[in-house]
Amino acid sequence: MFHYHSIEEIYDLLANNSEFTIITIDNRDIGKRCLIDHIERAINSPYERDDWDGFAEAIRSLYWLEDPHIRIVHTELPILSEKELAYYIEILHDAYNFWAMTPPLDVDIIFADVLREVVEQILSSNSRRLLCH
C-alpha cells in the first residue's frame, strides 16, 4: 500500500536517489489541471487529457516507460477540493494495486507521516461508499 515517512526521511530519500524518477507533490500543485499536468510531464505521458479518467489511464499503464521506476512523493497534499482530493487518492490507490500485479512496474507512493490520517480517512470513507452502492 502507500508508504509513510517523516519529512526528514523524505528529504534523505530525495537527496540520495539515483534509481527512481521522483515526482514531488506539494501545495504548489493547485487544482486538478496543474496536478495532472505536473505528473504527466514528469512521466513523459503521451496522454493529453486533463481529466481524472485520462489521468487514471495514464498513471496506471505507464507502457511507454523503458525504465518504470517511479516514486511519487507527497510532502504536502495538492490543493484540491475535498471531492477531487478523494478522486486523486483513489486513483493512486487503484493504480498501486495494479502495479503490484504488473512487473516490471516499480512505483512507490509516499506520503509524509503527517498526511497519514487524512489519506487513510479518504480511503476508508470511499471504501464504505463503494460498499453501500
CATH number at residue 119: 3.30.370.10
Take residue 34 and report the three cell numbers written for it.
496543474
Q: Which domain holds residue 60?
A: 3-132
Q: What is the mean pLDDT of the chain?
A: 88
Predicted pLDDT of residue 130: 44
Q: How far is CA 77 from CA 5, 62, 67, 124, in A?
A: 14, 23, 27, 17
Predicted pLDDT of residue 126: 66
User: Count of domains in the chain?
Assistant: 1
pLDDT tens, residue by residue, 61-109: 888 888 778 999 999 999 999 999 999 999 999 999 988 888 778 889 9
pLDDT above 80 (res 18): no
Take residue 127 and report the three cell numbers written for it.
471504501
Predicted pLDDT of residue 127: 54
pTM: 0.89
